[in-house]
Amino acid sequence: MCQSYRKVCACGQNTSEIFFGKMVLDEKVVAEVYCPKCSLPIDPKQDGRVWDNGWVLQLNMDVVRIHAPSMGISPEDVTADWVFDNGYATWVGMTPDDFQKRELERSEIQKLAKTDLRAYINTLREWGLNREKRFVQEGWRKAKTS
């Protein structure tokens, strides 16, 4: 079973969905999430922050260090970037609000299924491929590492 957790960003205008891989960490590790609107004034160098296209996932590093041995890394070596890139605390989709956008886009395409099944299948396939390309172009962290 995998756990996911929705967290509203610091300014309250956006929601991210976070996934905790391998059931090591849970929502207690998430200190704060900043969207591109509210991440501007924060310090990019502070410990415990993962930056992704203007979004910031701020982890509680005390909690991270406690769980470091369960993740196969020493408490001294573990960083927020490492936790994110290894999937212990990461976005559910490719981007923080992918889960919302994906449903919107898919329901648009779904309308085609009622009128033209073949067009629907083709559109759906193209949509999947284009999404991947778009995420790489936009430079999302998970699109680059995977």
Which distant-in-sequence residues (6+ apart) come within 8 Å of 54 by Cβ? 35, 36, 39
* Residue from the set 9, 59, 64, 89 that interacts with Zn ion by CB under 5 A: 9
Q: How many residues bind Zn ion (CB under 5 A)?
A: 6
What distances in angstroms separate CA 97 from CA 33, 112, 135, one per listed residue? 12, 24, 12
37 binds Zn ion, rule: CB under 5 A: yes
CA 141 to chain centre: 9
Stretch of 1-9, 81-89, 96-104, 133-141 contacting Zn ion, by CB under 5 A: 1-9
Q: Could you say which of 18, 24, 35, 89 contacts Zn ion (CB under 5 A)?
A: 35
Q: CB under 8 Å, gap of 24 or more: what pairs does 132-137 form?
A: 135/94, 135/95
54 binding Zn ion? (CB under 5 A): no
Where does this chain touch Zn ion (CB under 5 A) — which range of 24-32, 37-45, 59-67, 72-80?
Answer: 37-45
Task: Pick from 3, 4, 8, 11 the residue near Zn ion by CB under 5 A.
Answer: 11
Contacts of 63 (CB under 8 A, 6+ apart): 25, 28, 29
Q: Of 15 and 123, which has the nearer Cβ to Zn ion? A: 15
Q: Which residues bind Zn ion (CB under 5 A)?
A: 9, 11, 13, 35, 37-38
